[in-house]
Amino acid sequence: MPNELIKFWQRSKLTKPPFFHPDDESTLWQGNGRFLDSEITDFDTLISQKQFGPFNDKLKLSLSPVPYAGDVAHAKFVILSLNPGLDYVDYWAETRRPEFRKRMEDNLRQSFRGVEFPFFGLDPELCWHGGFAYWEGKLRGVIRKIAEKSFDENYFKALRDLSKKLACLELVPYHSPSFHAHALIKDLPSCRIVKEFVHESLVPDAKAGKRILIVTRQVKEWKIQRDPKFAKNIIVYSSAHARGASLGPKSGGGKAILRDYGIE
């Protein structure tokens, strides 16, 4: 099933914007594309606007889709989220830094040969990007404990090790600063296939003890129920904790990661 998910996204062309999976096209443009932002195409377009400032909440198809991050086939810890966020640096990174753009393409193709940090959100070489700020910030307490316990307090080595074991799946693969396109979820083929992958591959793996599944956002849409029998390997956040989606040492997800490292 991981191959099916990857094959699905390998059919997505990334030569020029707008970037989207071809199967999603008709759904994305329903209602005259009311959920899409077609005005911003690159960093130059962004800063030339009269209202260069707060983004609207529409989906940004001028940025590469991120249906997943990390080595999906081999990740021990898999986080289920809603959709990739957005910052000014995303436009700058993809249009001004070709090495970053290639990294995004390699992630989409799941090509990690020679890549030291498969989960790019934990790569110190990308510390200038919002993705690193977000993920390293959320996991800092957990990584510190891993460094202390397993790597003689070497934070870099702990980052690298967790990067090889961590993946994140997004319910909707398209960027936005906040999400208001809920009407698209039930119709987008990309949403359907990622949910099929979760239920046909990840959930059975987690129940068998092969993975740890951490459902942080849109629990109802992922359709994963809490089950005391598998509570150690399938962590489902409550609605009260979903918005913050904490991954600190005392959170459900953080505790599960640390427990797998032998840290209670």
As a whole number of angstroms, the distance between CA 231 and CA 78 comes to 15
User: What would the pLDDT profile of 10-44 be if each residue is shown by its tens digit?
Assistant: 999 888 889 999 999 999 998 888 899 877 778 88
State the pLDDT at residue 70: 98
Helices assigned H by DSSP within 16-77: 25-28, 30-33, 43-48
Give percent above pLDDT 90 in the chain.
76
Residue 63 pLDDT more than 80? yes
Q: Hunting for tokens 């399938």 — which residue is that?
A: 234
- Give me the half-sphere count of Cα atoms (radius 13 Å) on the Cβ side of residue 76: 13
State the average pLDDT over residues 199-218.
96
Tokens of 129: 């990007």
Residue 259 pLDDT more than 90? yes
Q: Is 184 left (phi over 0), alpha (psi -120 to 50) or beta?
A: alpha
State the average pLDDT over residues 234-249.
80
Residue 49 pLDDT more than 90? no
State the pLDDT at residue 242: 52
State the average pLDDT over residues 76-99.
94
Q: Is residue 264 very low, low, confident or very high in pLDDT (cuts 50, 70, 90)?
A: confident
Report which of 179, 165, 171, 81 is spatially closest to residue 131, judged by C-alpha positions.
Answer: 81
Tokens of 236: 């489902």
Higher pLDDT pick, 218 / 250: 250
Q: In this structure, are residues 15 and 105 in contact, taking their beta carbons and an 8 Å threshold?
A: no
State the average pLDDT over residues 188-202.
96
Q: In this structure, are residues 163 and 70 in contact, taking their beta carbons and an 8 Å threshold?
A: yes
Q: Is residue 46 very low, low, confident or very high in pLDDT (cuts 50, 70, 90)?
A: confident
Interstrand relation of 212-215 and 77-81 (parallel, antiparallel or unpaired): parallel
State the average pLDDT over residues 80-107.
93
Q: What is the pTM of this model?
A: 0.94
Among 69-78, 91-100, 242-251, the range scoring the smallest mean pLDDT is 242-251
What does the DSSP assignment read for 177-210?
Answer: SS---HHHHTT-HHHHHHHHHIIIIIHHHHHTTS
Q: Is residue 47 very low, low, confident or very high in pLDDT (cuts 50, 70, 90)?
A: confident
Q: Is residue 114 very low, low, confident or very high in pLDDT (cuts 50, 70, 90)?
A: very high
Backbone angles phi, psi at 168, to 5 degrees: -130, 135
What average pLDDT does the chain have? 92
As a whole number of angstroms, the distance between CA 62 and CA 75 comes to 28
State the pLDDT at residue 241: 55
State the pLDDT at residue 5: 94
Q: In this structure, are residues 233 and 212 in contact, taking their beta carbons and an 8 Å threshold?
A: yes
